[in-house]
Amino acid sequence: MKMITVLGARPQFIKACMLSRLLQNDKNINEIIVHTGQHYDKNMSDIFFTQLQLPTPDYHLGVGSGSHGKQTADMLIQLENVINKEKPDLVLVYGDTNSTLAGSLAASKLHVPIAHIEAGLRSFNRRMPEEINRVVTDHLSTFLFAPSQAAVDHLAREGIKEGVYVTGDIMYDAVLHYKETAVNQSDILQRLQLQAEDYYLATIHRAENTDEPDRLKNILKAFQQLDKKVVFPLHPRTKHTIEKWEQGTNSNILLIEPLNYLDMLVMESQAKTILTDSGGIQKEAYMLRTPCITLRKETEWEETVREKWNTIMPPTHSEKIVEAVLNSEKPQAYRSLFGDGNAAHHIQVVLREMFKY
């Protein structure tokens, strides 16, 4: 069986490392990895292939940044060429990025079956580009690998019941696999001169926050008023916006470059609280049992809110953000929501059965 895996962004590299490791050792499958270049910064892309020992991509499309339409269109044109050349039995996509959408559109137009890992997530906010990408990809996919029962329920309400499999969350595989390695190898706390639970970790990258000066101003103002240092790895988009709008920071905010995966795992696991607008980091926070404040008006990971490990806080008032952070505590109860840590194996089993190899 020949399959094309489409990757383009940091979370996809992390997820892919778990499944690709199995597929590379499967003599009956030929996985061709296509890197769209959606994340092109070394700290957001190349380092993950090296650190996580992902196979070198067979194709690197080098698409880079651009508007949603242009970026997706450029990917679509090049992915169509790759699919026509390789003639795969399956195209596999991860998550909800423009790379996900382009991969699924290109495959569907050429009548190639699509497998979507992390299917069924919904924020119910159609203004989010990621929500459009999720919905379209799910409705085009043949195989839908859902991380949780909530995701399955979302698909069922949209009439998608065939080809749906609850495998657990492949990101949980990665957290379990790399957590001990991260603790043993990373010296990020020493380098930043930090102590466990004596800092907050923040990540902001969504356009709804970075492209709205008032929202970003509220977020930074809240960070300045917190009782502990806020470590803030800067996504390239956020860095550009801070510079463009001349949004100020003070000594309470430690601006740093994007972190590699092992350093990020340590920072997430040892933080007092995480403040983020990232879906993946909300989930990693839960898996690492770190309280999370989500700086959005909704989340696709509603289970983490119900379990009281995640608090939704729209960044409309800095005072409310500060209050939410200061009141955040670890709940006494914790439930495993995202499977048994063997999602990659469960996905491989389904592929074997479906393609009879």
Catalytic residues: 205
Cα angle: 54, vertex 55, 56; to 5 degrees: 115
Strand partners, 3: 31, 90
**Distance (Å, whole) CA 57 – CA 107:** 19
Burial class (CB in 10 A: 0-12, 13-18, 19+), 345: middle
Sign, Cα dihedral of 9, 15, 19, 20: positive
Here the contacts of 187-196 (C-beta below 8 Å, separation 24 or greater) are: 188/259, 188/263, 188/266, 188/267, 189/266, 189/267, 189/270, 192/231, 192/254, 192/256, 194/229, 194/231, 194/270, 196/270
Tokens of 8: 């383009």
**Distance (Å, whole) CA 211 – CA 277:** 13
Asked if residue 283 lies in contact with residue 169, where contact means CB atoms within 8 angstroms, the answer is yes
**Distance (Å, whole) CA 14 – CA 8:** 11
Question: Over the range 186-211, which residues count as b (16 or more CB within 10 Å of their CB) and which as e?
Answer: bebbeeeebeeeebbbbbbbbebbbe
Question: Over the range 263-287, which residues count as b (16 or more CB within 10 Å of their CB) and which as e?
Answer: bbbbbbbbbbbbbbbbbbbbbbbbb
**Distance (Å, whole) CA 179 – CA 290:** 14
Helix (H, G, I), strand (E, B) or coil at 53: coil
**Distance (Å, whole) CA 270 – CA 248:** 27
Residue 36: DSSP 8-state = -
Using alpha carbons, select from 149, 141, 56 the residue that is nearest to residue 100: 141
- How many CB atoms are located within 10 Å of the residue 310 CB? 24
